Amino acid sequence: MEGKGISQAVIRRLPRYYRYLGELLEDGVERISSNDLSKRMKVTASQIRQDLNNFGGFGQQGYGYNVKYLHSEIGKILGLDREHNMIIIGAGNLGQALANYTAFERSGFMLKGLFDVNPTLAGVTVRGIEIRMMDELKSFIRNNDIEIAILTIPKTKAVAVANMLVENGIRAIWNFAHTDLNLPEHIVVENVHLSESLMRLSYNVLRYEEKHQKKK
């Protein structure tokens, strides 16, 4: 059941399965066939079967998938059946916006602290969580069993801060700073670039317009 050898493409699709199955659960649906799931998710049924076969299937031929079971198994694969302690480095606009978002906690991502270098932010609280200065970082990571750091600082500072986080035992970085971090292999980095999503949107708007104009 462990995710060894599973392609990153499949891993990238799992959160979407998890979300759809969660919605089905809320709607009281107990079983779903790969065909019905396929219609909802606009993914081919064979893709769904192939993806889920990576983990031993979960489905019984002809009976469809048990929604609750599949949801919980995918949750386990994604590590959502346990808590992950997180800190945010950079308590500016984006850092505070993320800190204010409560839904992460429902999936087990627990925000324990916020850090910044700006002394005017020292002691300010966001959703009850205090903003601390960077000199407290080392002991905070150790004492609070922090696994994930969210980097929302300027890109010029990101590399140095990331190295410091690694030295202090951080396991993973959710990197919003627009720069690549070259960290040891055992450190997991997930880069987020909202602007890339916006560029894809822009591309598709243009393509749609082109197609539409040709038809006129």
Binding residues for NAD(+): 90-95
Q: Which tokens go with 174?
A: 């959710």
Q: How many CA atoms lie within 13 A of 6 on its CB side?
A: 19
Q: How many CA atoms lie within 13 A of 189 on its CB side?
A: 21
Report, in Å, the least distance between residue 79 CB and ligand NAI: 23
**204 binds ligand NAI per the rule CB under 6 A:** no
Q: Which of the ranges 25-33, 40-48, 141-149, 172-180 carries the binding residues for ligand NAI, by CB under 6 A?
A: 172-180
Q: Which of residues 124-143 bind ligand NAI (CB under 6 A)?
A: 134
Q: Which tokens go with 198?
A: 């916006």
Tell me which H or E stretch contains 137.
Answer: helix 137-143
Among 21, 80, 91, 114, interactor with ligand NAI by CB under 6 A: 91
Nearer to ligand NAI, 52 or 94 (CB): 94
**92 binds ligand NAI per the rule CB under 6 A:** yes
Torsion angles phi and psi, residue 33, rounded to 5:
-85, 160
**177 binds ligand NAI per the rule CB under 6 A:** yes
**157 binds ligand NAI per the rule CB under 6 A:** yes
Q: Which of 106, 188, 194 is nearest to 152 (CA)?
A: 194
Q: Which of the ranges 35-43, 63-71, 83-91, 207-215 carries the binding residues for ligand NAI, by CB under 6 A?
A: 83-91
Question: DSSP letter string over 101-133?
Answer: -THHHHTTEEEEEEEES-GGGTT-EETTEEEEE
Hey, which residues does 190 pair with through a beta bridge? Answer: 174
Contacting residues toward ligand NAI, per CB under 6 A = 89-95, 115-118, 134, 152-155, 157, 161, 176-178, 192-195
